[in-house]
Amino acid sequence: MAKKTVANLLVDTLVAAGVKRVYGLAGDSLNGITESIRTRDDIQWIPVRHEETAAFAAGAEAHLTGNLAVCAGSCGPGNLHLINGLYDCHRSRVPVLAIAAQIPSNEIGSGYFQETHPEHLFAQCSHFCEMISHSDQMPRILEIAIQTAVSRRGVAVIALPGDIGLRDAVDQQPRLHFPEPRPGLCPSDSELAALAKILNTAKKITIFGGAGCAEAHTELIELAGRLKAPIVHAMRGKEFIEYDNPFDVGMTGLLGISSGYQAVMYCEVLLMIGTDFPYRQFFPKNATIVQIDIRGEQLGRRTKVDYGFVGDTKTTLRALLPKLVDDKDDAHLKASLEHYHTARKSLDELATGNQREKHIHPQYVARVLDELAAKDAIFTCDVGTPTIWAARYLTMNGTRRLLGSFIHGSMAGALPQAIGAQVSHPGRQVISLSGDGGLAMLMGDLLSLRQLQSPVKVIVFKNNALAFVELEMKAAGIPEFATDLHNPDFAKMAEAAGLLGLTAETPDQVRPMIIQALKHDGPALVEVLVSRQELMMPPTVSLDQVAGFSLFMLKALLSGHGDEIVDLAEINLFR
């Protein structure tokens, strides 16, 4: 029997770890690995047109499954392109392994063609990054990388020179065969008693939950019922918290609404659970703040915390619930829910498709999409305005999923994440809410949809601008500059790539075009010409921002853009 190569053993080890596919772009330094994958039927090579797409796609798979996903890049520029997507994976805390191919081992350090040093380049976006320079390091170094990515929920990188991958392996089999450990983590009995005392004696409690509440929906709802507490969620917590939740009062933050903001700002005790919400200006100044997080290093890093507890949400809440009394006054909850219903009505009034209007409101597009999408649809959204519309108008139900670059904040993530979602979930409907700026940045991977025959539906919010950047400029008192986008006809571009391409130019065309795309047996793109001048106000506006808008209006007059002026008196600042 022929001896295995290091590349063969690498692929064996990935399969033993449960990996089903590797996203990447082929290159000669990856030949050993791609050849090993070619000869097998238990793992796939998923070709994409840009390595950044490979990293985002792997991150989407890891997010949806909770399992290790893998991407690869050839030496030098190839693996450099992985970095942005890997930053997103790492900051989103999803387990991803990146294989960074390296130049021939005997040329390292000589300034050779395409030479870089991956062990340095990936250090800030990974928990583990090492080079395999000897055959007898495989599979041990790879298995350490896998265990690190899985246990610490982040990125691990191995650098492998192409010639090392083709050498004979010393070991012939993977070494680790146990399933992923899933321990529960809970505060001590004395800490739980202290936490229960705080909550039992407090009157106006608001719960603020994030992505750390995944898999603990039942416990969270029971907690809110005991405490008579409204629940506010961060963006990454939306898919896990919003559904079947009679205590939901929406989001706070830049994408949120006034009810979420007020429930946080006017409580006596803010109970933060599994959230690393970054915006300090949206935390209360005078409330007692209690934080529960599985990572102790996150306690108190966003706002002052009076009581911090280390534990995972499900285990901690299960241990806490029996210690709580059930005789709370519900005045704070009722007021918060009433405010939410008012704010929700105001948002819904914006999502109209008035046939007499010339422009299409992007809110209406998101609302129609929410109505027509499958009950178990997977949505991805680009940063900026598509994330706002996703946050405010997509309804989560416990089976739908929502992905985006919500921490790293990278443009161009929606299409690559949709690819990873669709490839790993071939029976699910996958819909990308793409901005025209974000889509254009990695538009080449429309070709990947065609090549993979991946039936992703791409909805393009085309306003010919970096619209959220414009709003930020206006808030700072600066007339928009360098935000115009001279876009192509995206529907025709999609057709040229082999997709179904459709365009909605008027409100009455939105619904039929989306219906046609969703019914299409294959990839489809709907280009929707949405209004550029949509104000997306945060739940509260500072005096500095009001001053900024006033300054913008003066500068707009002086520069001849008076037709774009918005009367601040007509703006509902709580939208």
Distances (CA, A) of 118 to 4, 99, 157, 402: 26, 10, 8, 31
Residue 383: active-site member:
yes
Pairing of strands 231-233, 205-209: parallel
Cβ partners under 8 Å of residue 407, min gap 6: 88, 91, 92, 236, 276, 278
**Choosing from 6, 11, 19, 51, which is the catalytic residue?**
51
Give the Cα separation of 248 and 241 in Å (integer). Answer: 8
3-state class of 131 per DSSP? strand
Instruction: Output DSSP code: residue 304.
Output: -
Strand (E) positions, 182-245? 205-209, 231-233
CA-nearest of 125, 122, 134, 124 to 158 is 122
**Choosing from 309, 406, 468, 549, which is the catalytic residue?**
468
Residue 552: active-site member:
no
Give the Cα separation of 139 and 14 in Å (integer). Answer: 10
The end-to-end CA distance of the chain, in Å, is 69
Give the Cα separation of 439 and 462 in Å (integer). Answer: 10
Residue 114: active-site member:
yes
**Choosing from 44, 114, 451, 509, which is the catalytic residue?**
114
In DSSP terms, 465 is beta-bridged to: 484
**Choosing from 19, 22, 96, 383, which is the catalytic residue?**
383
Residue 534: active-site member:
no
Q: Encoding tokens for residue 7?
A: 């590349």
Taking the C-alpha atoms of 501, 505, 511 and 515 in order, what is their torsion angle to the nearest 10 degrees? -10
Give the Cα separation of 510 and 506 in Å (integer). Answer: 7
Burial per residue of 192-229, b for 16 or more beta-carbon CB atoms within 10 angstroms, e otherwise: beebbebbeebebbbbbbbbbbbebbebbbebbbbbbb
AA identity, residue 437? G
How many other β-carbons are positioned within 10 Å of the β-carbon of residue 567?
7
Distances (CA, A) of 307 to 296, 387, 496: 12, 32, 58
Give the Cα separation of 349 and 276 in Å (integer). Answer: 32
3-state class of 346 per DSSP? helix
Tell me the catalytic residues: 51, 113-114, 383, 468
